[in-house]
Amino acid sequence: TPESAYALGRALGKQYQKGMQGASRIPNEELRAARRQELERLYRDPAVNRLKEAGQGGMDVPLYGEALLAFYGDRWEAALKSLGEARRQAPWAYEILVLEGDVYLEWALQVQEKGDQTRTEELLNQAAQPLELAANIARSDPAVYEDLARVWIARLELARSRGRPAEMILARVDENLRLAFAADPNRADTYVLRAAALSRWADILHETGREEGPALEQSSEAARRAIALDPANAEAYNLYGRNLWR
């Protein structure tokens, strides 16, 4: 049915988003590209096929489905246009705000890889705005706080590349992860984000001549907790292995 095709497409799409956010943190360019190609084959392409199969029959706000298809195709502006219209149709649907934030975030991550720090900062600021609105509506949804934490982790990397202080940024990551844990203390994804943030913080400490050992151990502990909760979580294993290698 259109409803089941849409549900499957959304589930596959979420796996694709999660995987791509993890892939952006792989330092080796060739490995990063290979992982992205794998994610496109495993999740993105099937998600797009299921959403096209569903058409407009599987969703309450058809423009949201159009935005998803544009998002998965990296057509950022088209996705944002559909989301703007969808928000006018369904101003109560916080999922539209979440997707808007995700579009800006993924766009920022791609721009960040190309070295355009000014544009990256602009896009990250735009990502935070709808996500903060969504968090005010859906206070019990840990995924919204996780998305906000991802924005601040990207800002952490931006501060690192600019050589700027990052303590306040790390505090904002911690704040959003604390809210995510309060909403659901047993989400592997939240522990993965904590591991990622602390791993980046350890990089900053090392590069500025400070002791990174405690941050690395805390990162590894969070990764181990994520693995215990979700033994198939590839990003948790990658983070744990990276910490051990260092």
- pLDDT, tens digit (0-9, with 9 covering 90-100), for 105-164: 999 998 998 889 999 999 999 999 999 999 999 999 999 999 999 999 999 999 999 999
3-state secondary structure of 174: helix
- Of 125, 120, 93, whose CA–CA distance to 109 is shortest? 120
Structure confidence at residue 53 (pLDDT): 81
- Of 207, 204, 203, 210, whose CA–CA distance to 242 is shortest? 203
pLDDT, the chain, mean: 90
Tokens for 241, please give them: 């292995």
Interior/surface letters 168-200, b for 16+ CB within 10 angstroms, e for the rest: ebbebbeebbebbbebeeebbbbbbbbbbbbbb
Q: 1 vs 11, which has greater pLDDT?
A: 11
Q: How many CB atoms lie within 10 A of CB 113?
A: 12
Instruction: Determine the Cα–Cα distance for residues 122 and 101; give it in Å rounded to an integer.
Output: 13
Q: Is the pTM of this model over 0.85?
A: yes
Please give the average per-residue pLDDT across 223-243, as a whole number: 94
- Report the first-to-last Cα separation within the chain, whole angstroms: 49
Please give the average per-residue pLDDT across 90-112, as a whole number: 93
Q: How many CB atoms lie within 10 A of CB 92?
A: 7
11 pLDDT band, cuts 50/70/90, is confident
Structure confidence at residue 102 (pLDDT): 95
pLDDT at 5 over 90: no
Residues 157-186 pLDDT 10s: 999 999 999 999 999 999 999 999 999 999
Structure confidence at residue 56 (pLDDT): 62
57 pLDDT band, cuts 50/70/90, is low
6 pLDDT band, cuts 50/70/90, is confident
Number of helices (H) and strands (E) in the chain: give both, helices first: 12, 0
